[in-house]
């Protein structure tokens, strides 16, 4: 491997282990001799992880490359600590090889350490030591002079110079612990650097394991509820919480009841430690400086009381946050941001996290677990200290962080929305789910066919990613299964904004041959099923209090009677009427209900696969293979209707683009005069 390849290899190894560094946290570098394109001579180039990205999955293009001689020359430009932020603007001028990857604000921390290879990691075990009141002495005790120590300082140009000074004055050091932050290590080769990083983390882990006082977190205070009860409580709580914190922008939720979380939320020290706030800057940028501990006693689990207390607890938290902003703000600070908590701790139950998208919510939860691990270690061997409030504020509202936020792309039209699609394994269901995902929504799919559902889910994960796609197999005609489906949606994403009721069947038979079984089957799936799912969604949306949109995928046959299909046509008519009735009741709570009427969507359809195709062909006196052409010629526009066409109409009705439409029917049938609405 070349030196850059070795750097990449080591970075991926380090970044893939959460004990070594958290998601997106830490950076690595190598100083490499490379041929300069201008002079043709060998020059020293710093390869360092660029701005953004995660070490575990970084590729070579994730590193920025800078001329070392230009970085050294920058020292002459440095005007002192009060001006260190201006140094960031010089970094692009040091770029080697026109590399478009922006250099991160940690670049000076790597550039000036006089070693070829440098790792900067955020290992929980090291931060635990770095966040102890007595961290300097403990560093000496544990590492016996192998690691130096620097007091807390915001990462930036000045800290880069301090690292250089310490590493130069004490050439025996293998690295440095930064108080309240993390670890720097270095080596002459990629391999030795990697090994030193692991060795230092191992020493810290081992020392903590031998020295942590038992019981941790001051011992157990409350019981921990069994798993089903924890999940049920979280599923009830999440939509109520989500509605209350989504006024500015809609948030998505994540529930975590891993062992590390449960140990903390059942402990005596929960309230005391949570109030101290997190330590490593990476942690609180993701989790806010402190979480909200909800008033809940698992010994007397009263969910109604918990829900009744939410408004007061949230308004107290927001008032505290606003007061923190007012206390700490500087003349040029960015405006106050969303004052709601990100992390919610529930004694005996677990942790909820909410953010503008699902991955961010999940990762925020993982970061708080890092913070729990740090507090567990630090408090077990000494006294845990969070970051001083003003320091935390200066990082949270750092103008350079604000600039990063401003560079983020504009959110998609359905960002922060949760959609439930029934009949999700079918052609129309999948096309709808695909479009909603592409527009930024998270999607819960359901279908009665478990195999087809799994296939659809895997295909959709390729479109929307693992975080945003979930599925639950179920039968929409079962009241219990529908309730379970809605609970699972709340638990997975935090609530519900969009219901696409699409599960369907079709049947054809002359009236006198229509058995009671055929009749009931149509009624059960197309009427009762739609009723059950929409009633459940309605209750959930009402609890959330942020409105919602329901779209029924009905049929032209709900408007136009068709000979030889009375059971199907009647059920489809009832479905459309049900949508109109719900539209009436939904208006008061901001829930819109609209109908999309497809006609003859044959491609990808599971309904048209079997008997229905034969039946329609027979009743129209044509060959089954000619049916697509037959319907095309029958339409006014002489066009086939495809699943994507239905998906486009469903998306319109689901999104704010149709925000002033409810009780409507939108035909997507290539033109059928008999279906004109009036
Ligand atoms: Zn760091």
133-192: pLDDT as tens digits: 999 999 999 999 999 999 999 899 999 999 999 999 999 999 999 999 999 999 999 999
* Gap between the Cα atoms of 30 and 667, Å rounded: 61
Phi/psi for 320 (5° steps) reads -60, -45
Catalytic residue status for 194: no
Q: What is the pLDDT of residues 101-138, one digit of tens each?
A: 999 999 999 999 999 999 999 999 999 999 999 999 99
Q: What is the pLDDT of residue 281?
A: 79
Give me ligand 1 centre to Cα 22, in Å. Answer: 10
Give me ligand 1 centre to Cα 432, in Å. Answer: 42
From the list 211, 258, 482, the residue with the least C-alpha distance to 353 is: 258
Give me ligand 1 centre to Cα 356, in Å. Answer: 24
Which of 172-176, 382-386, 433-437 is predicted least confidently? 382-386
Q: What is the pLDDT of residue 191?
A: 97
Give me ligand 1 centre to Cα 544, in Å. Answer: 38
Q: What is the pLDDT of residue 255?
A: 98
Q: What is the pLDDT of residues 226-253, one digit of tens each?
A: 999 999 999 999 999 999 999 889 999 9
Q: What is the pLDDT of residue 222?
A: 96
Q: What is the pLDDT of residue 124?
A: 95
Q: How confident is the model at residue 653 (pLDDT cuts 50, 70, 90)?
A: very high
* Gap between the Cα atoms of 599 and 664, Å rounded: 17
Give me ligand 1 centre to Cα 302, in Å. Answer: 42
Q: How confident is the model at residue 59 (pLDDT cuts 50, 70, 90)?
A: very high
Side-chain half-sphere of 655: how many Cα atoms within 13 Å?
A: 19
Q: How confident is the model at residue 400 (pLDDT cuts 50, 70, 90)?
A: confident
Report the chain's mean pLDDT, rounded to a whole number. 94
Phi/psi for 477 (5° steps) reads -90, 0
Instruction: Look up tokens 């279908």; give the residue.
Output: 447
* Gap between the Cα atoms of 343 and 533, Å rounded: 31
Side-chain half-sphere of 385: how many Cα atoms within 13 Å?
A: 17
* Gap between the Cα atoms of 406 and 8, Å rounded: 29
Q: What is the pLDDT of residues 539-593, one digit of tens each?
A: 999 999 999 999 999 999 999 999 999 999 999 999 999 999 999 999 999 999 9
Using the predicted structure, report yes or no on whether residue 9 has a pLDDT greater than 80: yes
Which of these is catalytic: 112, 568, 631, 651? 568
Q: How confident is the model at residue 600 (pLDDT cuts 50, 70, 90)?
A: confident
Which two three-digit tokens encode residue 37? 């394109």
């Amino acid at each position: 491997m070349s030196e850059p390849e070795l750097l990449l290899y080591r970075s991926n190894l380090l970044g893939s282990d959460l004990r070594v560094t958290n998601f997106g946290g830490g950076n690595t570098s190598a100083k490499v001799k490379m041929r300069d394109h201008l002079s043709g001579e060998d020059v020293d180039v710093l390869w360092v992880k660029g701005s953004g990205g995660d070490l575990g999955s970084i590729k070579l293009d994730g590193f920025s490359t800078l001329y070392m001689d230009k970085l050294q020359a920058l020292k002459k430009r440095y005007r002192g600590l009060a001006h260190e932020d201006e140094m960031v603007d010089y970094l692009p001028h040091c770029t080697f090889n026109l590399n478009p990857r922006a250099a991160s604000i940690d670049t000076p921390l790597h550039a000036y350490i006089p070693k070829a290879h440098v790792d900067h990691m955020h290992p929980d075990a090291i931060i635990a030591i770095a966040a102890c009141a007595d961290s300097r002495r403990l560093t000496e005790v544990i590492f016996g002079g192998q690691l130096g120590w620097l007091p807390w300082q915001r990462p930036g140009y000045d800290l880069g110079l301090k690292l250089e000074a310490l590493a130069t004055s004490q050439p025996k050091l293998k690295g440095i612990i930064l108080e309240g932050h993390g670890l720097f290590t270095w080596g002459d080769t990629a391999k030795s650097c990697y090994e030193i990083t692991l060795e230092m983390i191992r020493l810290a882990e081992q020392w903590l394991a031998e020295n942590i006082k038992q019981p941790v977190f001051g011992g157990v205070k409350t019981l921990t509820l069994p798993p089903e009860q924890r999940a049920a409580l979280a599923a009830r709580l999440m939509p109520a919480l989500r509605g209350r914190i989504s006024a500015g922008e809609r948030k998505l939720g994540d529930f975590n009841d891993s062992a590390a979380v449960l140990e903390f939320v059942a402990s005596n020290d929960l309230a005391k430690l949570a109030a101290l706030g997190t330590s490593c800057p990476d942690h609180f940028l993701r989790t806010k400086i402190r979480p909200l501990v909800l008033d809940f006693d698992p010994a007397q689990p009263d969910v109604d009381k918990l829900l009744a207390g939410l408004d007061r607890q949230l308004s107290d938290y927001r008032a505290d946050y606003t007061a923190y902003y007012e206390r700490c703000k500087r003349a040029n600070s960015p405006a106050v941001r969303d004052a709601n908590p990100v992390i919610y701790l529930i004694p005996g139950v677990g942790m909820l996290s909410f953010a503008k998208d699902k991955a961010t919510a999940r990762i925020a939860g993982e970061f708080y677990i890092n913070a729990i691990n740090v507090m567990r270690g630090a408090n077990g061997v000494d006294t845990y200290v969070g970051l001083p409030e003003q320091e935390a504020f200066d990082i949270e509202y750092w103008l350079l962080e604000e600039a990063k936020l401003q560079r983020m792309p504009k959110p998609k039209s359905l960002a922060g929305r949760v959609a439930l699609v029934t009949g999700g394994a079918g052609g129309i269901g999948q096309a709808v789910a695909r479009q909603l995902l592409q527009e930024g929504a998270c999607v819960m799919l359901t279908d009665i066919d478990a195999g087809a559902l799994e296939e659809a889910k895997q295909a959709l994960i390729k479109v929307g990613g693992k975080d945003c796609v979930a599925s639950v197999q179920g039968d929409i005609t079962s009241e219990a299964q529908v309730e379970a489906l809605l609970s699972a949606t709340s638990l997975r994403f935090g609530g519900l904004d969009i219901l696409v009721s699409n599960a369907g069947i079709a049947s054809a038979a002359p009236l006198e041959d229509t058995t009671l079984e055929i009749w009931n089957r149509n009624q059960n799936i197309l009427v009762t099923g739609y009723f059950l799912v929409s009633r459940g969604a309605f209750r959930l949306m009402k609890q959330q209090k942020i409105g919602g949109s329901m779209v029924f995928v009905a049929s032209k046959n709900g408007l136009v009677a068709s000979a030889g299909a009375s059971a199907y046509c009647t059920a489809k008519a009832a479905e459309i009427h049900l949508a109109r009735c719900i539209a009436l009741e939904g208006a008061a709570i901001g829930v819109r209900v609209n109908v999309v009427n497809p006609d003859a969507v044959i491609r990808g359809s599971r309904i048209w696969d079997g008997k229905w195709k034969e039946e329609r062909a027979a009743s129209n006196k044509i060959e089954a293979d000619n049916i697509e052409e037959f319907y095309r010629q029958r339409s006014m526009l002489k066009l086939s209707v495809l699943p994507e066409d239905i998906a486009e109409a469903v998306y319109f009705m689901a999104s704010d683009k149709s925000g002033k439409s409810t009780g409507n029917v939108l035909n997507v049938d290539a033109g059928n005069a008999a279906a004109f609405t009036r």
